[in-house]
Each structure stands twice: as C-alpha cells, then as structure tokens.
Amino acid sequence: MAGMPHHPFQPTDSLFGEPEALKPLAERMRPRNLDEIVGQRRLVAPDRALRRALEAGRLHSMVLWGPPGCGKTTLALLVAQYADADFKAISAVLSGLPEVRKALAEAEGNFAQGRRTVLFVDEVHRFNKAQQDAFLPHIERGVILFVGATTENPSFELNSALLSRCRVHVLEAVSADDIVAALRRALADTERGLGAQQLQVDDASLQLIAQAADGDVRRALTLLEIAAELAEDHRIDQPTLEQVLADRTRRFDKQGEQFYDQISALHKSVRSSDPDAAVYWLTRMLDGGCDPRYLARRMTRMAVEDVGLAEPRAWRMALDAWDTFERLGSPEGELGLAQLAIWLAVAPKSNAAYQAFNAARAAVRETGTLDVPMHLRNAPTKLMKGLGYGKGYQYDHDAEGGIALDQQCLPDELEGTVFYEPVERGLELQLRDKLLALREARRKARGG
C-alpha cells in the first residue's frame, strides 16, 4: 500500500523463523496489507474504526477473539507493520514465564532506543493469571503494544486486569464466498501461490473446499495444497477432492466456547419445542466428537427440568435412550438419542416442579431449622409419646376421601405457603385441577 511504513518482518521470514521454501501455502499467502484480508469487513473495511486507527498509526493494545483461521495472526502482523514497530511472537502453548520475560526484556531495549514493539501472544487464554499479569506494567508504560489471540471467550479465560488494558475485537468465521476468493487468489499467484502449476479446478470444486473448511481460511488453503499435490495432469477433479475431504470435521472444541454454545442451543431448542433444531444441534455435537453419554445425561436433565410433570414419561424415555446407547454403542445407539431429542422437543413443557424445588430451597435457607409439627413426629418410645410426639396425627387412609383435609404438614411458620403451581399443559393440567380443588377443600376444612 502506498505510504505504508516499512516493517522489519519480511515476506521471506515466517512467524517463528522458518525459511520461505518450507512454509505451507497458507503461510505463504498470508495477507500483506488490509486490502488482502478476506472477510472481517466489520473491522477492516475502509470506513471502519480499527482500519482508520491502523492507517493513522493510532494503535492500542488489543485482544483478538475468533475461531481458528479467521485472521487473528495476520491482523497482529499488520498492526506491527502499520505501526512501523518490531514484531515479537510467543505462543502460550510453547512458552512459559522465562520466554515471556525474555520477550519483554527485548521490548524494553527497543523502548529505550525509542522504538515500539508489538508483542503477539498466540493462544493467550492458555496462560495462567501470573503469566498474564507479567504483561500489565509493560502495557501501562507503553513498552509494548500487546496483541493477544484467543479462540475462547476472553470474559472467562483472561483476567480482568489484562482485559481492562486492552480492547477486545471479535473476529468472525470467514464465509464460504470469501474463502473461495482466497483460494482463487492462491491459484493465480505465481510468486507465493500455486499459479506456476497452472491448475485446473472448477467453481463447484472450490465451493466444496470452502464449505469443508468451515470458516477457516488456513484450513481451506491447506486442503487446496493437498489437492494440488494429488492432482493428475494439473487437474483437481472430484475423485481427488473425495480423497482430500474424506475425513473433514466441523469446528468443535470439547472444552471451549463452541461446546458450550452448542449444548446451550440444544437445550433451548428442546425448551422451545423445536424438534428440527434439537436434532440438528444434537447431530452437530455428535459430529464434532462430543461424548454421547454427556448428551444423554444433559437430555435427562432437560426431561426433568423443562418437560417435568407435564409429561412424566419423558424421564423414563431419557433413561431408556441412555441405556440403549450403552447397549448398542456408536453409531447405532445415537439414533436413540436423536429420537429422545425429538420427543423432548414435542412433549408438553412445565418447569413447575423445578420452580417449586427452587422456592423450597430458598425457604429452607431463609427460615433455618424449623420444628417439625408435633403431630407429624415419630413416637417410637413411651417418653416421646408422653412429650406429645405424634399426638393428634390423623391417618389419611381412615379419613373421608383418603385425605385428612384439616391436617397441617408444613411448619407453623410456613403455614399456607405454596411452592408448587402446576401449569395448564399436558398431564399437569389434570394435576392443576385436582390440586386447586384440594387446596380449596383444605381452606374450608381449616376455616380459612
């Protein structure tokens, strides 16, 4: 770009020092300026604040949060390039405090000579609190422009002190159309890409690669490079792509944001009585490698919490589906889980029992150790009988209608408290009618 400052990170170097000839296609094709970035228009389009700040040299420490292959490392490199600053990179996977201190010492040397340093920390969420704290004074003094990259939610994984000194920029998975544009650029580029091979590949094949990459530009370029190596007569055809794409998997981190987002989507789809969405999110998680037993346990929880007494058979079906998976294993047993997800979604819903339990727990916490009414107490000894234990208890089976309507079972302090309010859905509609009639009969029997 015209007027863009020189940066010491040259195209013949790689992020961690490998020679150019050994770099994979994805690294060779890394964008050299903001105009070459595909996707992320919300951040780097010409009228966006981050781009204007970069081009004006008004840089700030930042955390780049986004899925793999969306351009976090590239953006960090361009921050240093536009700032005319030295670029130092460390990986939280490979580095500890000694490496952090060494990088900070080098940045101090630059600072003393009037030169800025961009310190890029990849996978920053893997650093513990002490390691993250080591950056704070250097950020405050301006010794470094800190750029952290993470695939995890910074609110959960980074300490508040570091977050308060950085601006969080959210990057999105790159669309398939933008990935196709990156693939075409690599096919045409004779200097860094595959242009010299004069490969023949049609639009449908490029779209297949882009879809398989699942929002990850780096992955797409890697798939293209593998296909180019397997291509015969300079042609990437369908049989070649079938080999390359045979074992592709979708984005899924068993302990990360994708995991929790998807289980949340499954639970809320069931709660919203959307069987299509429920079976989709279940399948997504199974496809991503989630333990089916975890899904069975979570759906049993849904049966108890969200279906509840509106359809008590849901509990039994959840346990049966769980047992079916244990007996059949994968993949046959997964069909039982899919049927369960659909059943739970279409079943009537009630959280009345869940709400009653929570209300009762709150009452227990607030009221402490209330005495059991004397007439409800057990009286196995003469002494206890003499003290009045069990006196006045009415055996319900002997009462008219099988219920002693004037007998109080709650502690005196909670008399008249209502915890359980059935909803007007499913079986609970019948329970509601019966319970309302019973409560009214008890009120009259007690003279209320």
From residue 229, alpha-carbon distances to 194, 195, 203, 232 in Å are: 11, 13, 19, 9
CA 417 – CA 359 distance, rounded (Å): 10
Coil, strand, or helix at residue 66? coil
Report how far residue 57's alpha carbon sits from residue 31's, in angstroms, rounded to the nearest whole number: 19
Question: Which domains occur in the chain, in start order?
Answer: 20-170 (3.40.50.300), 176-244 (1.10.8.60), 257-346 (1.20.272.10), 372-445 (1.10.3710)
Average pLDDT of span 43-63: 88
pLDDT tier for residue 448 given thresholds of 50, 70 and 90: low
Residue 448 CB neighbour total at 10 angstroms: 9
- Average pLDDT value over all residues in the chain: 87
| Cα distances (angstroms) measured from residue 443 to each of 357, 366, 397, 406 | 23, 26, 20, 8
The predicted-structure confidence for 289-347, as pLDDT tens digits, reads as follows 888 999 999 999 999 999 999 999 999 999 999 999 999 988 899 999 999 999 999 99
pLDDT tens-digit profile of 182-199?
999 999 998 889 888 888
pLDDT for 336 equals 95
pTM, whole model, 2 decimals?
0.60
Q: Which of 214, 193, 106, 124 is nearest to 165 (CA)?
A: 124
Distance CA 255, CA 261 (A): 11
pLDDT of residue 21: 59
pLDDT at 5 over 50: no
Burial class (CB in 10 A: 0-12, 13-18, 19+), 442: middle
Q: Within 10 Å of residue 91's Cβ, how many Cβ atoms?
A: 16
Whether residue 11 is predicted with pLDDT greater than 80 in this model: the reply is no
In the numeric block, the tokens 């709650």 are attached to 410
How many alpha carbons fall within 13 Å on the CB side of residue 94? 6
Give the pLDDT confidence score for residue 369 in this predicted structure. Answer: 87
Confidence at residue 221, expressed as pLDDT on a 0 to 100 scale: 92
- CA–CA separation, 251 vs 218, rounded Å? 13
Name the amino acid, one letter, at 57.
G
**How would DSSP label each residue in 261-298?**
HHHHHHHHHHHTT-HHHHHHHHHHHHHTT--HHHHHHH
